[in-house]
Amino acid sequence: MIVQEEKITIRILDKEYPLEGTISEEQARQLEEYVDEKIRLLQEASPMVPFSRLAILACLNIAQEVFELNNAYKQSLKEYENRIDSIISTIDESLN
């Protein structure tokens, strides 16, 4: 993956937005597609809502997804740690 430090332009609801920083073209396109889809779905459900409100609602929905994924990750990590501890205990018991 080639990372660029130049501006990349993405389109959200047919408006262009420059991205700066270290992001690959592929990542930028994935972000563009994901965010555009989220806002378009909200727009279809509520066509009279202004863009700024749609953008905030999309941000809140995406933030909720991030929190849910983070919580699921933390839960999985705890489960793996418990399983590893159990395996280590079993090995220790069998060696003693």
User: What are the residue ranges spanned by the domains of the chain?
Assistant: 8-95
Closest CA to 51 of 15, 10, 18: 15
pLDDT of residue 66: 98
Decide: helix, strand or coil at residue 11.
strand
The predicted structure's pLDDT at residue 31? 95
Distance CA 49, CA 42 (A): 9
- What mean pLDDT, rounded, does the chain reach? 93
**How confident is the model over 58-67, as pLDDT tens digits?**
999 999 999 9
Least confidently predicted of 4-8, 47-51, 54-58 = 4-8
Q: How far apart are CA 54 and CA 4, in angstroms?
A: 30
pTM listed for this prediction = 0.75
- In this predicted model, which residue has the larger pLDDT, 7 or 93? 93
**DSSP symbol at 50:** -
Contact predicate 18/8, CB 8 Å: yes
